[in-house]
C-alpha cells in the first residue's frame, strides 16, 4: 500500500477470484464456467470485419444487444441495462441504491463480492446467517428496511428459494430495493424476471458467464422497472459509458439468439450434475441440493482442504473456502461427462489412499 492510498480503504479486503491458471493444464472445475465453447453463432458474429471496427467506440446504448435480451425475456428494452460482467452491474446497484441511510443486507454465506462492495462504498451491512442446513430463512429478510441482496440460487451452496418466498420479501420491503442475483438461475431455479412488472422495487441480475459460455467476454445485465434502469444508466454513464466493448456486444447478441445451443448445453450440464451427485453420494459425500452448475460437497471423513490439494496435485482444480461452516466442503463445477468421470476416478484414487506417488 502506498502512503497516498485513501484512508477510507484502510480495512478494505479486495475480492479474491478463483485461481485462473493461464497454462490450461488443469481440468478446471473451480470457477463455474461452461465446459462448452460459445455457440457457433458467436464465432460467426465476431468476424474479421468487426475486429477492423475496433478503432470505433462501441454503442453506449448497446441497442441491439439490449433488444435481443429484452425480446428473450419478454420485456421492453427500457427494462434492461448491460454491465461488464454482472459484477459491474452489482457495483452500479450498490452505488445507486445504498448509502448511510440505506444499509445493505445479505446472507453470511453467499457471493463474496457483496461484502466487498459494501466495504468499498463504506456501507453499513446486516449480514444474516443462513440456517444450520444452509437454507435461507425468508422471514429474516421481511420488513427489514434495507437494500436486500440475495443470490438465487445461492453460491456456494447451490440452493434455491421459491418465487413465492421472493414475493414475500418484495411485499414486506416496499420502500427498499430487493436484488435477486440470478447468475445460476438457468440451471434449475425459477427466475424472478416474471415479477418485474409487478414490483417496482425488484432488480434481477443475470450474467452470460455461467450458462452462456461467455465468462471471458464479460457481459451481465439487470432487468427492472424503467425508472430503476434509468438510475443505473446514470451511474453507468458517470463511470464508463462504453462499458461493453464491440466484440462482446455482438457475442452476447448472438449467444442469446441461439436458443437451441443454450438449451442443449444447459440440459447437458443438468444431466451431468445429477449423475455426479449420485456418484459422489456413493463415495460418502454429503451434497447440498444444487440448482446450479456446481456442487457443494463434503466427504464423511476426508477434509475439504486435503481433498482440494490432492485433486490439484492430480490435475483437477476445484474451489475450497477456508472459512467457518465451509471448510469441510469442496465447490465443484459441473463439466462434461468426461471431466466428471476424471474427477470421480481421481477421488477414488485419493480416498483409497493410493496415488501416483505410491508404487
Ligand atoms: C459468477 C457470479 C457473478 C459474476 O459473474 P460475472 O462474470 O461478473 O457476470 C455474480 N454473482 C454470482 C452469485 C456469481 O456466482
Note the pLDDT tens digit of each residue in 197-224: 999 999 999 999 999 999 999 999 999 9
Q: Is the pLDDT of residue 97 over 60?
A: yes
Q: What percent of the chain has pLDDT over 90?
A: 94
pLDDT-derived band of residue 85, with 50, 70 and 90 as boundaries? Answer: very high
pLDDT-derived band of residue 353, with 50, 70 and 90 as boundaries? Answer: confident
What residues contact 56, with CB distance under 8 A and at least 6 apart? 246
Mean pLDDT in residue range 3-11: 94
Of 83, 38, 57, nearest in space to 257 by CA: 38
For the CA of 220, the nearest atom of ligand 1:
9
For the CA of 83, the nearest atom of ligand 1:
9
CA of 218 to the centre of ligand 1 (A): 10
pLDDT of residue 48: 81
pLDDT digits (tens, 9 = 90+) for 110-134: 999 999 999 999 999 999 999 999 9
- What spatial distance separates the first Cα and last Cα of the chain, rounded to whole Å? 48
Angle at 296 between CA 295 and CA 299, to 5 degrees: 115
Mean pLDDT in residue range 251-270: 98
What residues contact 126, with CB distance under 8 A and at least 6 apart? 103, 104, 105, 144, 146
pLDDT of residue 22: 83
Q: Is the pLDDT of residue 65 over 70?
A: yes
Angle at 117 between CA 84 and CA 148, to 5 degrees: 100
Q: Which three cell numbers stand for residue 38?
A: 460459445
pLDDT of residue 17: 87
pLDDT of residue 18: 85
pLDDT-derived band of residue 19, with 50, 70 and 90 as boundaries? Answer: confident
Domains in the chain, CATH or no CATH each: 17-36+260-352 (3.90.1150.10), 40-257 (3.40.640.10)
pLDDT of residue 47: 87
pLDDT of residue 24: 65
Q: Which residues line ligand 1 (CB under 6 A)?
A: 85-87, 111, 151, 155, 181, 183, 207, 209, 215, 220
Q: Is the pLDDT of residue 354 over 70?
A: no
Q: Is the pLDDT of residue 357 over 60?
A: no
pTM over 0.85: yes
Burial degree of 336 (CB within 10 A; 0-12, 13-18, 19+): middle
Indicate the average pLDDT of the chain. Answer: 96
pLDDT-derived band of residue 358, with 50, 70 and 90 as boundaries? Answer: very low
Q: Give Cα separations from 87 to 74, 111, 193 (angstroms).
A: 24, 10, 19
What residues contact 286, with CB distance under 8 A and at least 6 apart? 297, 298, 299, 300
CA of 207 to the centre of ligand 1 (A): 7
pLDDT of residue 23: 73
Q: Is the pLDDT of residue 247 over 80?
A: yes
Q: 275: part of which helix (H) or strand (E)?
A: helix 259-282
pLDDT of residue 233: 98
CA of 278 to the centre of ligand 1 (A): 27
pLDDT of residue 21: 86
Of 127, 125, 124, 123, nearest in space to 136 by CA: 127
Amino acid at each position: 500500500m502506498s502512503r497516498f492510498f485513501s484512508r477510507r480503504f484502510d480495512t478494505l479486503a479486495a475480492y479474491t477470484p478463483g485461481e485462473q491458471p493461464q497454462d490450461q493444464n488443469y481440468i478446471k472445475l473451480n470457477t463455474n464456467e461452461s465446459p462448452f465453447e460459445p455457440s457457433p453463432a458467436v464465432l460467426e458474429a465476431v468476424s474479421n470485419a468487426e475486429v477492423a471496427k475496433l478503432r470505433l467506440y462501441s454503442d453506449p446504448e448497446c441497442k441491439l444487444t439490449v433488444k435481443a435480451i429484452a425480446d428473450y425475456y419478454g420485456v421492453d428494452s427500457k427494462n434492461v441495462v448491460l454491465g461488464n460482467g454482472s459484477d459491474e452491474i452489482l457495483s452500479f446497484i450498490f452505488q445507486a441504491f445504498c448509502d448511510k441511510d440505506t444499509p445493505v443486507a445479505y446472507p453470511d454465506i453467499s457471493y463474496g463480492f457483496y461484502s466487498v462492495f459494501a466495504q468499498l462504498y463504506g456501507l453499513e451491512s446486516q449480514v444474516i446467517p443462513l440456517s444450520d442446513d444452509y437454507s435461507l430463512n425468508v422471514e429474516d429478510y421481511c420488513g427489514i428496511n434495507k437494500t436486500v441482496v440475495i443470490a438465487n440460487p445461492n453460491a456456494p451452496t447451490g440452493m434455491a428459494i421459491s418465487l413465492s418466498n421472493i414475493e414475500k420479501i418484495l411485499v414486506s420491503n416496499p420502500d427498499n430495493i430487493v436484488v435477486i442475483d440470478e447468475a445460476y438461475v438457468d440451471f434449475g431455479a425459477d427466475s424472478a424476471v416474471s415479477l418485474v412488472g409487478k414490483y417496482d422495487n425488484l432488480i434481477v441480475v443475470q450474467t452470460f458467464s455461467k450458462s452462456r459460455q461467455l465468462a471471458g467476454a464479460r457481459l451481465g445485465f439487470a432487468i427492472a422497472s424503467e425508472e430503476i434502469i434509468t438510475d443505473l444508466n446514470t451511474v453507468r454513464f458517470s463511470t464508463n459509458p462504453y462499458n461493453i466493448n464491440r466484440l462482446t456486444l455482438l457475442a452476447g447478441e448472438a449467444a442469446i439468439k441461439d436458443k437451441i445451443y443454450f438449451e442443449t448445453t444447459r440440459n447437458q450440464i443438468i444431466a451431468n450434475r445429477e449423475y455426479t451427485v449420485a456418484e459422489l453420494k456413493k463415495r460418502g459425500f454429503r451434497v447440498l441440493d444444487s440448482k446450479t452448475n456446481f456442487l457443494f460437497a463434503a466427504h464423511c471423513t476426508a477434509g475439504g482442504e486435503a481433498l482440494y490439494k490432492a485433486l490439484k496435485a492430480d490435475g483437477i482444480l476445484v474451489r475450497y473456502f477456508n472459512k467457518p461452516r465451509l471448510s469441510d466442503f469442496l465447490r465443484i463445477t459441473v463439466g462434461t461427462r468426461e471431466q466428471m468421470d476424471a474427477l470421480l476416478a481421481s477421488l477414488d484414487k485419493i480416498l483409497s489412499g493410493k496415488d501416483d506417488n505410491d508404487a
